[in-house]
Structure 1
Amino acid sequence: MATKKTVLTKDKIVSMYMDYTLEHNEKPKSVYQFTKMNDFTESEFYSFFGNLESIEKEIYNMFFEKTLELLNKDAQYESYDMKSKLLSFYFTFFELLTANRSYVSMSLNANRNQLKNVLQLSDLRKNFKKFIGEITTDEFKIQYEKIQDFQEKALQESAWIQFVFTLKFWLEDGSPAFEKTDIFIEKSVKLSFELMNIAPINSLIDFGKFLFKEKMQTS
């Protein structure tokens, strides 16, 4: 009796791609090679993705979507203030990255040209900035207006830059359970919110001391 062929899905293709990359220590050379090794056709592949690079972008987008799914399962999440929602996002997202650290580390360090590595995050960037826009409260906008004219795009872009710095710190973090990344997240998010207030100097000094200490230990 013939074995029934497993139904191909987007998630399965993503899983195959990640497995191939980790097992061969490199990305697939072509769609033809990738599909042949995994016993499905190019036509089936193209019904889900336009090229291999699209899979790479989708992986980080899936991390984002899974993060929101987990956050929204918490009945208390909607009652959180903006700062708490952002912290919850960070901790949940980086927990997912940690579960897939081998792939993430390899994919974001695959090219000497860092721009090519960052291009994988283009869809994530769009969704993250949209997320920031959705959780930005009127109260925060008022605080932001105290130091400059409120521009939502500028706020979202600065939040994305902070996110990228956090990702870079996590990639280089060698502490047990990546506890230093947790500290980095707490201090950087706290600082970004207190910069909207009149007297952020204590958080600024505290965060500066933490970064200086880390720099000294790794130099």
Structure 2
Amino acid sequence: MAKKKTISKSDLITFFMDHVLMHDHKPKSVYAFAKAHNFDEAKFYEHYGSFEALEQSIFKTFFDNTHSILNKSEEYQSFDARNKLLSFYFTFFENLTANRSYVVYALGNHKEQMKSLKTLSQLKSSFNNYIEQLGINMLDLKQDRLEKIQNRGLKESTWLQLLITIKFWLDDTSPSFEKTDIFIEKSINTGFDLIDTTPLQSIIDLGKFMIREKIRMN
């Protein structure tokens, strides 16, 4: 049988996921993997330098699929940051659920150490960029250094929230993972309520006004 001439990233991801779910371990080598799926080993390296790189790209693919679906929705485009993030979560976890067996294989043995998993590094990068583009209202600190610290804190806290939600979903045994849906809604809303800058910004503005007026009166 002639070997396949064209192999895409999507093909490699499908072959890899099928292999680990059937055998409960990664392929022994790229050579064996290529031979099993009837393509030249060099085709693998056109897309990935290792199985580890392929694994990382799988979770980024879940993100990319989610982002693509959302961007096609006119309703999503009209949402504020809170509802955009809620939509992202619900759609992202639909993607995870459709591939739950693989996600459990990839993360199930590392639920306590997910924050440091290299497997999620590409997902983290894409998710952080997404958070940055949401335009979440933060305090106007008027100092670049402080605003950078604030933005970094937002990215780290939202990433940690995503990891906690993934762990909750991995442990969830409710029908259709309905408890995860409830957890998503409550945690996202609580998070936005905690960073709601309107009351605090008003207090800061009042303080500035009082200081200015005191200086003028003196």
The question of a shared fold, defined as TM-score above 0.5 by the shorter chain, is answered with: yes
CA gap 1:19/1:144 in 2 versus in 1, 3 angstroms: farther
Secondary structure, aligned partner of 1:76 = helix
TM-fit CA distance, 1:5: 3.6
Give the 4+ runs in structure 1 shifted more than 3 A: 2-6, 110-117, 142-145
The correspondence of residues 1-219 of structure 1 with structure 2, limited to 5 A, is 5=4, 7-110=6-109, 114=113, 118-137=117-136, 140-142=137-139, 150=147, 151-197=150-196
- What is the alpha-carbon root mean square deviation over aligned residues? 2.6
Instruction: Indicate how the Cα distance of structure 1 residues 15 and 173 shifts in structure 2: closer, same or farther if over 3 A, else same.
Output: same
* TM-score in terms of structure 1 length: 0.81
Partners of 1:155 and 1:43 lie apart in 2 by: 42
1:144·1:196 contact (CA, 8 Å) conserved in 2?
Answer: no
Q: State the structure with bigger RCO (CA 8 A, min sep 6), 1 or 2.
A: 2
| CA shift for structure 1 position 163 | 0.4
SS at match of 1:141: coil
Cα displacement (A) at 1:115: 5.8
Q: Which runs of 5+ in 2 are unaligned?
A: 198-218
Q: Could you tell me how far apart the structure 1 residues matched to 2:109 and 2:36 are? A: 22
- Rate the CA distance shift 1:61–1:112 in 2: closer, same or farther, 3 A: closer
Contact 2:108 2:170 (C-alpha < 8 Å) held by counterparts: no
1:48 & 1:182 partners in 2: Cα distance?
35
Equivalenced residue count is 194
Alpha carbons 1:129, 1:156 under 8 Å: kept: yes
After superposition, give the CA deviation of every residue in 1:161-218 in whole Å (9 maximum; x if it has no partner): 00000000000000000000000000000110111248xxxxxxxxxxxxxxxxxxxx
Query: Are the aligned partners of 2:3 and 2:40 in contact in 1 as well (CA < 8 Å)?
Result: no
CA shift for structure 1 position 3 = 6.3
- Give the Cα separation in 1 of the matches to 2:139 and 2:115: 37
What are structure 1's unaligned runs of at least 5 residues? Answer: 199-219
- Give me the identity figure in percent: 45
**Which structure has the greater CA radius of gyration?**
2
Q: Which residue of 2 aligns with 1:210?
A: none
Question: Normalization by structure 2: what TM-score?
Answer: 0.81
Q: State the alpha-carbon separation in 1 of the partners of residues 43 and 69 from structure 2.
A: 30
Q: CA contact under 8 A between 2:4 and 2:39: conserved in structure 1?
A: no
